Amino acid sequence: MNDCGFTTLLLHGKNSRSYPQGAILPPISQVTAFQYESMEDLERVFAHKSPGFAYTRIGNPTVSAFENRINELEGGFGAVATGSGMAAIVTAILAVCESGDEIIAGAGLYGGTIDLFHDLEKLGIHTVYADRLDADAVRSLATDKTRLVFGELISNPSLAVLDVPALAKAAHEQGVPLFVDSTTATPYLARPLSLGADAVIHSTSKYINGGGNSVGGIIVSGGSFSWDFDRHQALSGFRQYGKLAFLARLRADIFANLGTCQSPMNAYLTYIGADTLGLRMDRICSNADALARRLAEEPDITVNYLTLPGHPYHEYAERELGGLGGGILTLRAGSRERAFRIINSLKYARIASNLGDLRTLVIHPASTLYVRTSKAEAEKAGVFEDTIRISVGIEDPEDLIQDFLQAVAVSREERA
Ligand code: PLP
């Protein structure tokens, strides 16, 4: 089945074919606990000696169907779905890092992740930022405390693209894994595990769900990193699992203990939403490309989009993302006031703090997603006072283009 195309695999992959009573979709197991005929049977499930579900915080058939589906798309060894993208990031990090450990991360991160890394400082986990997360940065920033390299494949919203093969090689030379937040790329644009990453994380609230109806996240493990358990002390209790120690600790320990599970209903809604991921991404990417090219002709705004000629990451996008630029573009309007005027003059694009929706969404990140972040950190993440982030949707492209052009024109009149 793996030799077929993306959408064929999505719809007909082996994990989408084994639901009870021949159901085409996974039934919604909206339950808290699962009963057994005898105490011995339940004991065996708890001891992982027989398959089965015991309690939804630890595992659930609907959530498991969703996990298996995304795992198959990403080419992973196993996946754990979480209650949000943030829950996925914190759960993955706490599985491999403990107090005294260090993370090397790219500076261009989603604001919530930067805030989380501040919180982790209080638990003794320190993050060292690279302005440009590449192999040289990893080699120069690594210390004997480094446990993990973390970056966003396409950073939100600065649009820096990771060179995953080179970065994975550098991380592995230092004895640490590479975890990639691939939310903005989606499995349609890239499969980081096949490029050398060790785990992929998504906020499934975004493109994977697509309809803007459920918050969720997922961690997909490649299962091929050779852990040094003297170095990765956080995993030392799981050394008997070898290369699967990360997945074993996630599932049996940290995920269950933190209670970062996804609800069955959200897993079901996101499972259904994912059916059209390939179709949506084609349309979103072509809309974003058309909008970016047209707006780039305007003399008094600056457009940041991966497929524009001269974009610093254009070459990586060609190589790693099949020439597609994703759904996010940013504009710099010259001032915060003008950015607000453009946003407020849009007819179709909704002002909302989300991305990856079918509908085009806009936001002024400096006054929302990055309010808790310092100005210097925000600017390194590509967020300035005059930045507008656009998450392009699937509308008819000419309507979108006309809407943005009229808003830019209105902002000019008001300024004059
Ligand atoms: N990672 C990225 C790249 C994001 O853009 C976001 C949210 O915008 C998250 C993680 C957090 O996801 P969630 O809102 O599902 O917790």
Same domain, 266 and 304: no
Which tens digits make up the pLDDT trace of 186-207? 999 999 999 999 999 999 999 9
Domain boundary among 223, 258, 273: 273
Same domain, 251 and 400: no
Which domain CATH number covers 242?
3.40.640.10
pLDDT at residue 414, as a whole number: 66
Same domain, 19 and 140: yes
| Sheet with 328-332, side-by-side order of all strands | 302-304, 328-332, 387-391, 361-363, 350-351
Cα 40 to ligand 1 centroid, rounded to whole Å: 42
Share the mean pLDDT of the chain: 96
Which tens digits make up the pLDDT trace of 232-245? 999 999 999 999 99
Same domain, 284 and 336: yes
* 416, pLDDT greater than 80: no
Q: Which are the contacts of 348, defined by CB distance < 8 A and separation ≥ 6?
A: 359, 360, 395, 399, 400, 403
Q: Does 163 reside within a domain? A: yes
Cα 75 to ligand 1 centroid, rounded to whole Å: 22
CA 333 vs. chain centroid, Å, equals 27
Same domain, 254 and 295: no
Which domain CATH number covers 399?
3.90.1150.10
Q: Does 406 reside within a domain? A: yes
* 374, pLDDT greater than 60: yes
Portion of the chain with pLDDT greater than 70, in percent: 99
Same domain, 156 and 95: yes
- Best residue among 86, 161, 201, 330 to mutate for probing ligand 1, ranked by most atoms within 8 Å of CB: 86
Same domain, 242 and 319: no
- Three-state DSSP at 355 gives coil
Same domain, 191 and 293: no
Cα 392 to ligand 1 centroid, rounded to whole Å: 16
Which tens digits make up the pLDDT trace of 168-180? 999 999 999 999 9
Report the pLDDT averaged over residues 279-285. Answer: 98
pLDDT at residue 356, as a whole number: 98
Q: Does 326 reside within a domain? A: yes
Q: Per the structure, how many domains does the chain have?
A: 2
Q: CA dist 247 to 96, 223, 229, 231, Å?
A: 10, 7, 14, 17
Domain boundary among 240, 273, 306: 273
Same domain, 264 and 299: no
Closest approach atom of ligand 1 to CA 354: 8
- Best residue among 115, 116, 156, 357 to mutate for probing ligand 1, ranked by most atoms within 8 Å of CB: 156
Cα 182 to ligand 1 centroid, rounded to whole Å: 10
Which tens digits make up the pLDDT trace of 313-344? 998 888 889 999 999 999 999 999 999 999 99
> In angstroms, rounded to a whole number, what is the distance separating the alpha carbons of residues 134 and 169?
10
Domain boundary among 273, 291, 310: 273
The residue whose CA is least distant from atom 15 of ligand 1 is 85
Same domain, 240 and 287: no
The residue whose CA is least distant from atom 14 of ligand 1 is 85
Q: Print the domain residue range for 293.
A: 277-415
Report the pLDDT averaged over residues 392-402. Answer: 98
Cα 302 to ligand 1 centroid, rounded to whole Å: 25
Ligand 1 contacts (CB < 6 A) are 84-86, 110, 112-113, 152, 156, 181, 183-184, 203, 205, 215, 217
Cα 223 to ligand 1 centroid, rounded to whole Å: 24
* 415, pLDDT greater than 80: no
Q: CA dist 204 to 114, 124, 134, 210, Å?
A: 19, 29, 26, 8
pLDDT at residue 1, as a whole number: 53
pLDDT at residue 226, as a whole number: 97
Helical residues (DSSP H) of 47-110, grouped into ranges: 61-74, 85-96
Closest approach atom of ligand 1 to CA 109: 3
Which tens digits make up the pLDDT trace of 263-272? 999 999 999 9
Cα 204 to ligand 1 centroid, rounded to whole Å: 8
Tokens found for residue 155: 């950073």
Same domain, 334 and 370: yes
pLDDT at residue 264, as a whole number: 98
pLDDT at residue 203, as a whole number: 98
Which tens digits make up the pLDDT trace of 64-90? 999 999 999 999 999 999 999 999 999
Query: Cis peptide leading into 61, omega within 30 of 0?
Result: no
pLDDT at residue 320, as a whole number: 87
Q: By mean pLDDT, which of 14-23, 251-260, 288-297 is the weakest?
A: 14-23
pLDDT at residue 319, as a whole number: 87
Q: Does 220 reside within a domain? A: yes
Which tens digits make up the pLDDT trace of 13-70? 887 778 999 999 999 999 999 999 999 999 999 998 999 999 999 999 999 999 999 9
pLDDT at residue 400, as a whole number: 98
> In angstroms, rounded to a whole number, what is the distance separating the alpha carbons of residues 377 and 137?
18
Whether 387 contacts 364, CB under 8 Å: yes
Q: Does 130 reside within a domain? A: yes
Q: Does 386 reside within a domain? A: yes
Q: Does 1 reside within a domain? A: no
Same domain, 246 and 311: no
Cα 411 to ligand 1 centroid, rounded to whole Å: 30
Which tens digits make up the pLDDT trace of 334-372? 999 999 999 999 999 999 999 999 999 999 999 999 998
- Best residue among 150, 204, 205 to mutate for probing ligand 1, ranked by most atoms within 8 Å of CB: 205
